[in-house]
């Protein structure tokens, strides 16, 4: 693969304070050399070394590709009618996930694969170069295993979420379903998964069940992440911190103790504003978490029921407008924050040796991601050094 000099970068977000100004490590009039899928050089344009090929950024903004650390993309069907009803004033009724479970079980492997490929491509066109993908719409041993098998051919960040909701067949026997999730289903899924997740919430899994599920996953070599404190206060965040989870996701209803626990831990608080947007719910308070010292990530939660967006730029704009984040904090959270939530050091940064996952914005500053909401600013995307968009 020939090396490429990306020249004429008006504003470069490196997320490396050693390389530039502020937490974003901003450089102006910069250049980057990409070689063999990684970043070989970063610095002032005037000092850039030669490369085989040259790309002129023409004064625009270059930043790391987005790292979307929370998505549910292996499914079939959609829930347009449910969203339409909710936005038309009808009350939300549970059971929506089951609609998607039925459609997903009925779909062929090829359909699920094609759907996932389309969503990964859709995200890539919007600057997302790393994406996590959960199971959770199969809820049987073979359906969960195939979801993860399909996902694992698109991303290394695969998450076993057999504990999304109790499978309909076990509605009268939730303990039996937890036994399945921690036993035979885990055995079938673990070979295709890096992470184990649980929806810890009233109506899904309580703290004791969540602990059993996450602990079983850890014993099989998976690392925990938790759907925590989305709809109500609960034990999810504390459990995530106690078990050393990489991330506690949603964090919408937090006590002072929850905030302190996150701030004193390596567990990232991953905020998913698409979910509150799409369900007309109150947003999480990012400012409170940041002021306490917690590490915050932003992610789409892309799923057909409660957040059908793959746009990290949209999440940035909402986080700035509604959640008390500065544009710099939101851009960091959508790139480096996501990398922290996935415990990755090779993405979410523009530094020598990092993977060459880059996006060029049709804008003079990263601030435009919040300043120009809804505008498709992504002008070019490189993934592992390969120009994809």
Q: How far is the CB of 301 from Zn ion (least distance, A)?
A: 5
| Closest residue to Zn ion, based on beta-carbon distance | 301
Q: Sign of the CA dihedral 98, 103, 106, 111?
A: negative
Q: Residue 27 or 131: which CB sits closer to Zn ion?
A: 131
Give 224's contacts (C-beta < 8 A, 6+ positions apart). 195, 196, 197, 214, 217, 218, 240, 243, 244, 245, 246
Residue 17's CB is within 10 A of a number of other CB atoms, namely 12
Q: Where do we find the tokens 């450089």?
A: 27
Distance CA 160, CA 142 (A): 13
Torsional class of 37: left (φ above 0), alpha (ψ -120 to 50), beta (otherwise) = left
Q: Residue 51 or 334: which CB sits closer to Zn ion?
A: 334
Residues that contact Zn ion, how many (by CB under 5 A)? 1
Q: How far is the CB of 225 from Zn ion (least distance, A)?
A: 10
Q: Residue 20 or 274: which CB sits closer to Zn ion?
A: 274
Q: Sign of the CA dihedral 131, 301, 26, 361?
A: positive
Interaction between residue 301 and Zn ion (CB under 5 A): yes
Q: How far is the CB of 231 from Zn ion (least distance, A)?
A: 12
Q: How far is the CB of 72 from Zn ion (least distance, A)?
A: 6
Q: Residue 285 or 301: which CB sits closer to Zn ion?
A: 301
Looking at 95-103, 211-219, 295-303, 369-377, which segment touches Zn ion (CB under 5 A)?
295-303
Chain center to CA of 39: 23
Looking at 59-67, 117-125, 209-217, 300-308, which segment touches Zn ion (CB under 5 A)?
300-308
Q: How far is the CB of 187 from Zn ion (least distance, A)?
A: 24
Looking at 93-101, 105-113, 301-309, 365-373, which segment touches Zn ion (CB under 5 A)?
301-309
Distance CA 69, CA 343 (A): 10
Q: Residue 95 or 293: which CB sits closer to Zn ion?
A: 95
**Do 319 and 272 meet the contact criterion of CB atoms below 8 Å apart?**
no
Q: How far is the CB of 133 from Zn ion (least distance, A)?
A: 11
Which chain residues interact with Zn ion by CB under 5 A? Answer: 301
């Amino acid at each position: 693969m020939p090396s490429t000099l990306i020249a004429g970068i008006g504003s470069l977000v490196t997320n490396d304070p050693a390389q530039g100004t502020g937490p974003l490590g901003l450089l102006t009039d910069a250049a980057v050399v990409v070689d063999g899928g990684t970043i070989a050089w970063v610095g002032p344009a005037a000092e850039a070394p030669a490369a085989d090929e040259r790309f002129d950024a023409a004064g625009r903004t270059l930043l790391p590709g987005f790292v979307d650390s929370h998505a549910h993309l292996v499914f079939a069907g959609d829930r347009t009618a449910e969203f339409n009803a909710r936005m038309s004033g009808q009350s939300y009724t549970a059971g929506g996930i089951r609609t998607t479970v039925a459609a997903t079980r009925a779909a062929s492997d090829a359909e699920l694969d094609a759907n996932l490929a389309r969503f990964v491509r859709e995200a890539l066109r919007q600057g997302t170069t790393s994406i996590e993908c959960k199971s959770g719409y199969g809820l049987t041993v073979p359906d969960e295993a195939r979801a993860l098998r399909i996902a694992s051919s698109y991303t290394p960040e695969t998450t076993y979420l057999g504990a999304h909701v109790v499978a309909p067949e076990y509605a009268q026997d939730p303990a039996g379903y937890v036994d399945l999730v921690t036993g035979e289903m885990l055995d079938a899924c673990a070979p295709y998964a890096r992470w184990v997740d649980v929806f810890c919430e009233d109506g899904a899994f309580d703290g004791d069940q969540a602990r059993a599920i996450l602990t079983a996953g850890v014993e099989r070599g998976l690392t925990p992440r938790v759907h925590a404190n989305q709809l109500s206060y609960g034990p999810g965040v504390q459990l995530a911190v106690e078990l050393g989870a990489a991330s506690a996701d949603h964090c919408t209803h937090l006590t002072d103790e929850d905030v302190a626990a996150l701030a004193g831990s390596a567990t990232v608080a991953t905020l998913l504003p698409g979910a509150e947007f799409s369900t007309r719910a109150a947003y999480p308070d990012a400012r409170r978490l940041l002021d306490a010292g917690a590490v915050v990530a932003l992610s789409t939660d892309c799923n057909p029921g409660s957040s059908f967006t793959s746009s990290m730029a949209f999440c940035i704009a909402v986080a700035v407008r509604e959640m008390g984040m500065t544009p710099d904090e939101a851009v960091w959270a959508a790139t480096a924050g996501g990398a922290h939530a996935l415990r990755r050091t090779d993405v979410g940064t523009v530094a020598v040796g990092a993977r060459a996952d880059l996006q060029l914005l049709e804008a003079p500053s990263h601030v435009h991601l919040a300043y120009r909401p809804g505008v498709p600013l992504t002008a070019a995307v490189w993934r592992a050094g390969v120009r994809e968009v």
